[in-house]
């Protein structure tokens, strides 16, 4: 039994999945997805989920494990990945671009085991953000140092944890890094290259049937399903509802994906343990392979 982990991360459209697949085949190991939307069934094209053919080439974990109406918490994700790593007979690859998923494993984030509380959240949502933030300042001033005044999601989550456990979320957080070695590989592109990649991938997704997939999802789960408001699906939903044209939807997907990629780059930039490679390097595979051999 070998204990360790290889991470392949980076912004969207940098080729993480392709590199991960090739490395996993060469290493005769498995891939663990670090994508917060690929865990959901039926959301395939818009999440750039590995095809069934690709999944048959290499065992993939944490793909299609949740019904779209369910919620996979960060704590749930962390627990599942840690179990896979623990019992893996090889060094697995953790591949994806969801920064919080990756940090939960590589940094060993301590996560309060509090599942979403729908009734409590509805009560909190009845107040303004100003009032909610005021509540948080009273019960957990330390969290307010990290949570922005206008961050509604994290404010509600912090209050939720406090009211369920009776303890501030700031006292329940922290890091407990794993003892096994971790090699973190990052892929980057220059600004023009990533923009071209995003435009190309958006066109391919639409050609593959993103409109039809979104329409089927609406018919199956209802137009109010939260996942249908996420990147790619939200814009196509606007098109299907007659609010914008298909070309406008495509343009919006490109714009929003660029913005998303920029946020991802900012997130990963803070991680000094990532070793970066240019995704457009003609020798990318061998450069990464040499690093792994040395590791």
**What average pLDDT does the segment 8-15 reach?**
97
- Find all residues with CB under 8 Å of 252, minimum gap 6, and list them: 235, 238, 244
pLDDT at 1 over 60: no
* pLDDT tens string 15-41: 999 999 999 999 999 999 999 999 999
One fold for both 118-172 and 192-264? no
Average pLDDT taken over every residue of the chain: 95
If one looks up domain 118-172 in CATH, what number appears? 1.10.20.140
Phi first, then psi, for residue 31 (nearest 5°) are: -115, 135
Residue for token pair 């501030």: 168
What does the pLDDT read at residue 286?
Answer: 96
Domain map of the chain by residue range? 118-172, 192-264
What does the pLDDT read at residue 182?
Answer: 97
Nearest alpha carbon to residue 20 among 182, 187, 195, 181 = 187
Q: How far apart are CA 268 and CA 12, in angstroms?
A: 12
Contact 186, 276 (CB under 8 A): yes
Q: How far apart are CA 158 and CA 163, in angstroms?
A: 9
The reported pTM is 0.88
What does the pLDDT read at residue 2?
Answer: 58
Phi first, then psi, for residue 238 (nearest 5°) are: -60, -40
* pLDDT tens string 249-271: 999 999 999 999 999 999 999 99
Contact 231, 253 (CB under 8 A): yes
**What average pLDDT does the segment 167-187 reach?**
94
* pLDDT tens string 140-159: 999 999 899 999 989 999 99
* pLDDT tens string 34-68: 999 999 999 999 999 999 999 999 999 999 999 99
In this prediction, residue 3 has a pLDDT band, given cuts at 50, 70 and 90, of confident
Nearest alpha carbon to residue 150 among 129, 176, 181 = 129
Q: Is the domain covering 192-264 a CATH 3.40.140.10 domain?
A: no
Q: How far apart are CA 10 and CA 6, in angstroms?
A: 13
């Amino acid at each position: 039994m070998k204990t360790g982990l290889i991470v392949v991360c980076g912004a969207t459209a940098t080729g993480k999945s392709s590199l991960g697949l090739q490395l996993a085949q060469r290493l005769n190991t498995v891939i663990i997805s670090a994508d917060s939307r690929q865990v959901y069934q039926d959301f395939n094209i818009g999440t750039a989920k590995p095809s069934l053919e690709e999944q048959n080439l290499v065992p993939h974990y944490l793909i299609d494990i949740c019904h779209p109406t369910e919620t996979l918490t960060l704590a749930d994700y962390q627990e599942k990945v840690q179990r896979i790593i623990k019992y893996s007979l090889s060094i697995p690859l953790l591949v994806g671009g969801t920064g919080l998923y990756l940090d939960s494993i590589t940094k060993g984030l301590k996560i309060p085991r509090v599942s979403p509380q729908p009734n409590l959240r509805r009560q909190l949502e009845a107040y303004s953000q100003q009032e909610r933030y005021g509540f948080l300042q009273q019960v957990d001033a330390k969290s307010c140092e990290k949570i922005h005044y206008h961050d509604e999601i994290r404010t509600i989550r912090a209050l939720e944890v406090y009211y369920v456990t009776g303890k501030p979320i700031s006292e329940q957080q922290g890091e407990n890094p794993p003892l096994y070695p971790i090699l973190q590989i990052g892929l980057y592109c220059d600004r023009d290259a990533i923009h071209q990649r995003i435009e190309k991938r958006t066109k391919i997704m639409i050609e593959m049937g993103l409109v039809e997939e979104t329409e089927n999802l609406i018919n199956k789960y209802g137009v109010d399903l939260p996942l249908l408001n996420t990147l790619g699906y939200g814009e196509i939903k606007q098109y299907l509802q007659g609010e914008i044209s298909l070309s406008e939807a495509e343009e919006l997907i490109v714009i929003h994906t660029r913005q998303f990629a920029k946020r991802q780059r900012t997130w990963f930039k803070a991680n000094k343990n990532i070793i970066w490679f240019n995704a457009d390097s003609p020798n990318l595979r061998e450069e990464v392979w040499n690093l792994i051999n040395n590791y």
